[in-house]
A and B are shown apart, each in its own frame.
Chain A
Amino acid sequence: MTAGRCTAALLAAVLVCGLTCASTAAAEEAITEEYESISNANEHVQAQDDYARSQKRREITEHDDDQNEPPPSSSSSSSSSSSSSSSPPSKDYFKEELVIRPLSSGDIYASFQFQTRWDTDFFAPGKKVSHYRLFPKSLGQLMSKFSVREMHVSFTQGYWRTMQWGQPFLPAPPGAELWVWFQDSVADVDGAWKELTNVLSGIFCASLNFIDSTNTVEPTASFKPLGVGNVTHQRFLRYAVLPREIVCTENLTPWKKLLPCGSKAGLAVLMKSEKLFHSSFLSLAVHIRPVCQDWGCKGTAWELRQTVNVVFDLHTTGQGKREWSFFKMFSRTLTEACPLATSSKVYIDVTDNPQGELFELNPAAPSLTQAVVLGDRRTYAVYDLMASGTFGLLRSLNVLLRWKTPGNFSTQVDMLRPLLHGERYVAGYGLQTGEIHTLIYNNHPYRAFPVLLLDIVPWYLRLYIHTLTVTSKSRENKPSYIHYQPSKDRLRPHLLEMLIQLPPNSVTEVTVQFERALLKWTEYTPDPNHGFYVGSSVISALVPSVVAMDTIFPESSYFVRVYTEPLLVNLPTPDFSMPYNVICLTCTVVAVGYGSLYNLLTRTFQVEEPSPGVVKRLANMIRYLRGVPLL
């Protein structure tokens, strides 16, 4: 089986580069052993991800190409790039896939992934890449202009409910998140970052231009590069979250325009905005990173992954029925694959239904495949859109899931107990002080594991870092690594990173007190009584897998990143309204009145002689000179 061999090779390649990264990291900053294992973990997630996906999607090899004749223009591109010494010409592939997973809560999770891979190097000396075929030109130019090595941007509406839905394929915090690794050749990282956010803001029609120094941080450990390369110093990393960013169709449209087929063909036709936004959770993301071109990793290729993760609430949209179909969810059906794609597949998670006793799919899936995703072995039904038989006589694919047990929609939602889970809230009342509580749950019955907690708190919440406590099972749990960067008023936020060992089956509580700053009156937002947002904290961990995995991972852990909910904090706010003016006016009047009264009370009064006239004064002067008594 080719898939297994290729995966193993890919894995080996990634592990190699992971090890090099880790060793440089260890050389650069002498942190604890555990910390290294976590920073490795980022590579693991990549490996994991690739592993899972490549298992799912069989292969990317050349035998697909016969179906998909490249357009004539591609020949010129290959000829132009053939001048470079690499033996295969500069190739690009496009793959699309959709994974649908019925969640235990009765909701439906649909995850689109569009992957574009281009075997070229933007930064090869003396070569300017100017011809684009599948890779979006706007992003390519951006990468080369700002010397971006890796870029991850996501726009999310709603909050991923780990307790009900389990782990997502790709986690994202509510609002907008952007993190970028720059090339080590970049001298002015802050300048490049500022320009980059403004350009991205234009590309995605989002408020990314609101990213400035007050919400940008350089995390030391939580965000390691996911692609190949050897720069791991956080000097070249910038991370920012805009928790208030609202995702709308104006973000979806430019996102869809980056696809080679746009929304005209392929899986992207399903993305009708009125359906996508009528959901419980929606996350758009773009990830760009360098990957190895081949198994030997002689050259780098660029990988662009565009993902949409959406959770449909069947309870509200399906009138309480559990049946779903493409048409019901997306109000469209599939009619063709994207002609430019080398692979186009739909996966439906049928793990809970191995023998088909619970529900049936219509049309029946041509094949089944198995994969280990997030520490769990799943079974997927696969529909290959490249195969001509998939669409049937009607030339349209509308997968329909019908439950065999009739009856009502079982809304009896049992809470899941995901192995790692976090939540956060503000404690206390009043507008002077407060306390941020972060709860991290380790629900593993017997394994302890370390997690990295990253907290970014805006400067207007003045953290009292001496009040930081970490308790597990009502005992103090001393973090083995703490990186704290205090805030500067109006310049930069607090950054707190900690490595905490979570005991098995425990809740770890991290608390820190803060004081609410009084802003200058121009610094308040137009809606100050709404409150101010504090972005999600990020919990990254290698979670031990419950499934006994086979040969490949001896440690059998997988990387998980969990975002907590953002916080809404009220700051002391003046009343920007008529009574406020009245108070100001009254205070002025009172101040004037008080001044006069105080003056009166503290002064001694004497009756003053009426001042003498000019003549009298003159006479007195003469008398004075003469030495005669004055008048």
Chain B
Amino acid sequence: MGLLSDPNRRRALTNLLTRLNTPLCIVCYLAGVAWFMGLAFEPFTLRTYMSENAMGSTMVEERFLAGERALVTAREFAAQKKKMGGMPVDWLVKAMQARGLEVFTQSFSRTLPFPDENKERYMVHGTNVYGILRAPRAPRTEALVLSAPCTPGSSNNQAVGLLLGLAQYFRGQMYWAKDIIFLVNEHDLIGMQAWLEGYHHTNTTGMSWTPLEGRGGSIQAALSLELSSDIITSLDLVLEGLNGQLPNLDLANLFYAFCQKIGVLCTIQGKLQRNDWDSAAGYSQAVQTMLLMVLKQASGRPWGDHGLFLRYHIEAASIRGINSFRQYKTDLTTVGKLLEGMFRKLNNLLERLHQSYFFYLLPSLSRFVSIGYYMPAFGLLAAILLLRALDLWVQLGSPAPGTEDGLVDGEQVRPTPFGPGVLSVLTPLIISHLTGVALYTLPIMAQQTAVEHFPVSETEAVVLTAIAIYTAGLALPHNTHSPCPSVRVLSGEGTEEGWRVLKLIAIFYMAVLLGCTALINFSLGFILALTLVPVAAFITPHVPRVLSALVMVLLSPGSTLLFSIFVYQELQEAPITLLEGWNLFLSVISQGILDHNLYGSLVYPLISLLVYPCWLLLWNILFWK
């Protein structure tokens, strides 16, 4: 710090930073992107390992043999489901009771803010059925959950069959130290949300449900099972939960360890791991897997029924059976053995899973990138904002270029630009935030009016209102410049210092916003930083207006979402046309709003209330007069 206390050397450093500011920013950006892409390169990543001692060695022998019987149960369940035209509650209650469980039901209902066109539901009524296997040795203090969603149509019957088969098998064992809750939830996430809220007696989303009558203490871990075919070729592990939360890495390690032991193909993001990391194809596979994880995590929505458990500090994952055209097939007995093994390991836990990482990215199931490795990529991007802020600060401090000792003089000069400057930035700040509030509230509030006046459905009305408000925000900068000249003079608008102060504030705002977002949900923070930071760095009123405006719109949060959709589809190996992409874009927006209303996902409010206003500030600078 002696370097900075010496005015001469300090001046030299500041000069260097201001002189080299643009090249430094470009270098930081490129380095950040390169660092991120390097994360998937195998020599730079760590091999996963089991941190939790209690789950360490895989000594137990799995004895589950009733796969065939589970299939029979599954068929019976399917027949009953077809007969009832929904969830066969009574049959399930009887089936669970016959397996020696304590059975309870919970009914719930929820009216969505607007119809969900993807799943075709609006007023949802349903029933969850769950049975508790009481541990002989524990006084109902801890529990594990195995859940299978009851979905309409012919999917997921095998999961329920296997769940019942496992219940029967587990009931005959003496070694359980934690209660095991077997849950069949209706209406996938809505049912799960109702059950979890009932279990913890909270109500965060305004759903109505009947209180639960049986509980098993604090839930330590949960697995959600999705199986739709009698035989499977591989098992896919889904980790991404609400708001980008991830379960402890040990849960993924446990799954991987048992897949290796039992000899089941296991994938993550539906991508099989390749062994040739040094070839281009191997690296590209790892990058694709990691990018998929980043995109899914950034979306902030639960990607399986497990996703809602994470809010309650319950480590959870979904296991999805995939039946493709591979040669190697696995039957239900093997899947049952895998689950038996996992549950016996979880049963051994002395503490909640906490030893391993909670923040990680997975380029494959056997390799992980921890928070310490991926954060520098974001840090490099965030450094650009700080560099620009420093540059602006110095510029604001030395109004007349060439004056000696800018900082000492700056002390005396500073009040001049700041007096009107602070006032001048207040107007755009407030107006852009009000736009954000409108974007957050109006789509749902105005859907009724929109439906009456335009020939659209409620869902379309919501989405289109959101897009309309978003676009209308772009017109605002012209209007924020008040026509009344007295106000303009008073607020000091239009001065050179005015936009600098505004930009300084916008840059700091963005740095704090993105920094906090990246701490909670790295993927979202990184993707936003990738597009917003260049805009923030280079926007001034003096750049060519039309071209810059085009670039800014292309790099706005809304367009980022659109690009992400295309990239996601590309990575899923299901490319789409522009029109399909646009339709998907609309449905993703409606899903985002629904996720916020139904499960409390925070991405929509974050974007509309904070990120979008921040971007509008930059837009304001571009059109500064």
Contact = CB atoms under 8 A, between A and B. Distances in A.
Interface of A: 157-159, 161, 163-164, 174-175, 243, 278-281, 313, 315-317, 320, 411-413, 415, 423, 425-431, 435, 437, 527-531, 533, 536, 565-570, 575, 577, 596-597, 599-600, 604-605, 607
- When A and B form their complex, which 3 residue pairs have the shortest distance between CB atoms, in order from nearest? A174-B139, A427-B201, A529-B351
Contact of A412 (B97, B201, B355, B407): B97
A166 to B, nearest CB: 15
Given A437-B201, A568-B142, A605 B7 contact: yes
A505 to B, nearest CB: 15
A161 B214 CA distance: 12
A415 B141 contact: no
Contacts of A566: 139, 141
A568 B350 CA distance: 13
A56 to B, nearest CB: 29
Contacts of B354: 529, 575
B341 to A, nearest CB: 19
Interface of B: 1, 4-5, 7, 97-100, 102, 134, 136-142, 171-174, 200-202, 215, 217-218, 311-313, 350-352, 354-355, 407-408, 411
A430 B102 CA distance: 28
A283 B95 CA distance: 32
Contacts of A437: 201
Given A568-B218, A570-B218, A157 B137 contact: yes
Given A158-B138, A429-B311, A570-B313, A163 B102 contact: yes
A157 B177 CA distance: 11
A600 B98 CA distance: 75
Given A161-B134, A437-B201, A570-B218, 7 more contacts: A426-B218, A427-B200, A428-B200, A531-B352, A565-B140, A567-B141, A568-B141
Contacts of B139: 158-159, 174-175, 243, 536, 565-566
Nearest to B349: A530
Contacts of A317: 174
A413 B97 contact: yes
Contact of B98 (A175, A281, A411, A428): A411
A569 B218 CA distance: 8
A300 B100 CA distance: 49
A320 B311 CA distance: 40
Contacts of B350: 527, 530
A154 to B, nearest CB: 13
A596 B141 contact: no
A485 B259 CA distance: 54
Contacts of B202: 427-429
A28 B380 CA distance: 75
A267 B625 CA distance: 99
A332 B201 CA distance: 48
Given A315-B172, A435-B201, A529-B352, A604 B98 contact: no
Given A313-B136, A575-B354, A607 B218 contact: no
B374 to A, nearest CB: 15
30 contacts: A157-B137, A158-B137, A159-B138, A164-B102, A243-B139, A278-B174, A279-B136, A411-B97, A412-B97, A413-B100, A413-B102, A429-B200, A429-B313, A431-B313, A437-B201, A529-B352, A530-B351, A565-B139, A565-B140, A566-B141, A568-B142, A568-B218, A570-B313, A570-B352, A596-B1, A599-B1, A600-B5, A604-B408, A604-B411, A605-B7
A487 B136 CA distance: 33
A281 B134 CA distance: 11
A316 B174 contact: yes
Contacts of A164: 102
A336 B338 CA distance: 50
Contacts of A313: 136, 174
B136 A280 contact: yes
Given A316-B173, A435-B201, A429 B411 contact: no
B310 to A, nearest CB: 10
A469 B80 CA distance: 44
B194 to A, nearest CB: 15
B102 A577 contact: no
Contacts of A161: 134
Contacts of A413: 97, 100, 102
A574 to B, nearest CB: 11
B141 A565 contact: yes
Nearest to A105: B100
Nearest to A529: B351
A435 B201 CA distance: 9
A577 B355 contact: yes
A283 B313 CA distance: 33
Contacts of B99: 411
Max chain A Cβ within 10 angstroms of own Cβ: one of B100, B142, B171, B174:
B100
B137 A415 contact: no
Contacts of B98: 411-412
Given A315-B171, A316-B172, A429-B200, A527 B140 contact: no
Contacts of A429: 200, 202, 311-313
Contact of B215 (A316, A411, A425, A527): A425
A458 B263 CA distance: 48
A422 B303 CA distance: 38
A530 B201 contact: no
A567 B99 CA distance: 27
Contact of A527 (B134, B351, B408): B351
B152 to A, nearest CB: 29
Contact of A428 (B4, B100, B201, B407): B201
A533 B136 contact: no
Contacts of A568: 141-142, 217-218
Nearest to A160: B139
Max chain B Cβ within 10 angstroms of own Cβ: one of A317, A536, A566:
A566
A534 B44 CA distance: 46
Contacts of B407: 605
A596 B4 CA distance: 9
Nearest to A312: B136
A306 B236 CA distance: 55
B379 to A, nearest CB: 13
Contact of B201 (A243, A425, A565): A425
Contact of B7 (A431, A528, A607): A607
Max chain A Cβ within 10 angstroms of own Cβ: one of B7, B140, B200:
B140
Contacts of B97: 411-413
B140 A159 contact: yes
A402 to B, nearest CB: 22
Nearest to B371: A579
A137 B377 CA distance: 74
Nearest to A410: B98
Nearest to A313: B136
Max chain B Cβ within 10 angstroms of own Cβ: one of A315, A425, A577:
A425
Nearest to A430: B313
A425 B214 CA distance: 10
A423 B99 CA distance: 24
Nearest to A246: B137
A317 B352 CA distance: 30
Nearest to B312: A429
A428 B215 CA distance: 14
Nearest to A530: B351
Nearest to A434: B200
A605 B142 CA distance: 63
B375 to A, nearest CB: 12
B352 A530 contact: yes
Contacts of A412: 97-98
A411 B359 CA distance: 45
Max chain B Cβ within 10 angstroms of own Cβ: one of A159, A565, A596:
A159
Contacts of B138: 158-159
A533 B98 CA distance: 33
A567 B141 CA distance: 6
A577 B215 CA distance: 32
